[in-house]
Structure 1
């Protein structure tokens, strides 16, 4: 998947960058940085595309992306229809922002390990109110106070590696050409907005301003999936989110995700996740109970 490169520069009075995003919905395109990106999603939900993976994101989640890792947060249509404001706080910093050899010191070995792991993208699976408060306070912090807070945040994350989920299994490729990222983003947004209906390659090709045959070849090259495989991947990803909510029956989730019958839904879900929807629900209900108990 090709991406736009975004350079992040420190300000005159800070050696790293803190930004607060308040938008009707997230608008950043597929992109990657020459810096690490630490982000908390204060208010929003949708789909995150990072490297070669798709996952759901929602309120309160924390992510760490290494330099060069392509990613994009896209809001579901359901979030846009609420009229709520998407809110995120992002910290950008380079590995040498405190000097070339700063993170090689013995005391900082856990943080160095954390930064190396972020090359594949990390998601914190355990809720942590201290981290939430600290990240929100960073918006108003300046100077030494801000620097100490960032080091404290990295220190805490580096000692929570058991609860950090590696999003990609290997370091994804970076596509050097950037000219068609806008085209690909429009197609992905089309899929996100229509996966509950019947998105098709002909309409997607029109969105990309290409003929259908050329578009199908192009899409497979960029995403490493056929158009129908990608749509199915998005549907299954959405289903995993609904399976975590007891109010949804398996049949209800099937139709909500755009499938027409339960047996086909079960088959497609197992092809992607390796287990049936019911097995996934049972496995993750037990895991969530353990996480909540530990957080308490």
Structure 2
């Protein structure tokens, strides 16, 4: 497995791409491409790895990725037979010719596209955005162009506080088109096993490297140590559990793969800048 450079797969008579996904799970590899990407998760949940950040995703989430921002959606096991569903729109900055987005009418859209280089997750998406996404239709080229313009306009009108940056700053990809990376294999290993015993020796074996070489390789590619990545995955999972009323904080600790409550509290505060209890009080106070 490798980090994949994905060309913008436009047909000869089309200048941008609309893809509809309805399948048991998302199968796109850890990849990056030279296009902007708008995405609506209609049905699915799991973990998103984008740039060097891991976060939860669930039904209804919307994302906007800029060119070169590597990303990968990993589904959780579905409790029902429902498929993972999404709509994805990909377009190059110059898909309507050089300078198209430089027109005065696109001032707000240009700002939005600049933000997309850091990745955006839209909090509390406007229901009108779902309606616009559903207007895309196969074989209706002009309708789809108008729909894309409406989608960008509506995205750019969302309150600034709702456009949550995925990264702190635009990040130049450390992955190259021909990079023989084993990163995706390691990501899947961690995301499938983080609730149990996850260690760098097993990860190194999957990447066909010795432990020391793997640790250097992983940090060079992700800008963090392997243990930092594992802790971020576990803490990210814990943030989702803390929003539910099924678990107390001790249970959240063990359900997230930690086996020591003190270590869990310390790692949670390091990553989230607040304790698990403070996080729960802020985002779901009715549980307390």
After the TM superposition, which of the residue ranges 134-143 and 109-118 deviates more from structure 2?
A: 134-143
Could you say which residue in structure 2 is the equivalent of 1:246?
A: 245
Structure 1 position 111, deviation (Å): 0.7
Could you say which residue in structure 2 is the equivalent of 1:24?
A: 24
Structure 1 position 69, deviation (Å): 1.0
Report if the CA contact (8 A) 2:51-2:171 is conserved.
yes
- The CA RMSD measured in Å over matched residues stands at 1.7
Q: How does 1:20-59 map to 2 (within 5 A)?
A: 20-59=20-59
User: Deviations for 1:2-50, whole angstroms, at most 9, x for unmatched residues?
Assistant: 8321111332443211001222211111211111100001111111111
Report if the CA contact (8 A) 2:47-2:55 is conserved.
yes
Return the TM-score normalized by structure 1.
Answer: 0.90
Structure 1 position 248, deviation (Å): 2.4
Report if the CA contact (8 A) 2:10-2:17 is conserved.
yes
Report if the CA contact (8 A) 2:30-2:70 is conserved.
yes
Q: How does 1:110-259 map to 2 (within 5 A)?
A: 110-140=108-138, 142-162=140-160, 163-177=162-176, 178-181=178-181, 183-259=182-258
The answer for unaligned runs of 5 or more in structure 2 is: none
CA distance in 2, matches of 1:275, 1:176: 32
Structure 1 position 83, deviation (Å): 4.2
Could you say which residue in structure 2 is the equivalent of 1:95?
A: 93
Could you say which residue in structure 2 is the equivalent of 1:86?
A: 84
Q: How does 1:264-275 map to 2 (within 5 A)?
A: 264-275=263-274
Q: State the aligned residue count.
A: 282
Report if the CA contact (8 A) 2:119-2:165 is conserved.
yes
The answer for unaligned runs of 5 or more in structure 1 is: 287-296
User: Deviations for 1:229-265, whole angstroms, at most 9, x for unmatched residues?
Assistant: 2111110011111112223221221110011232221
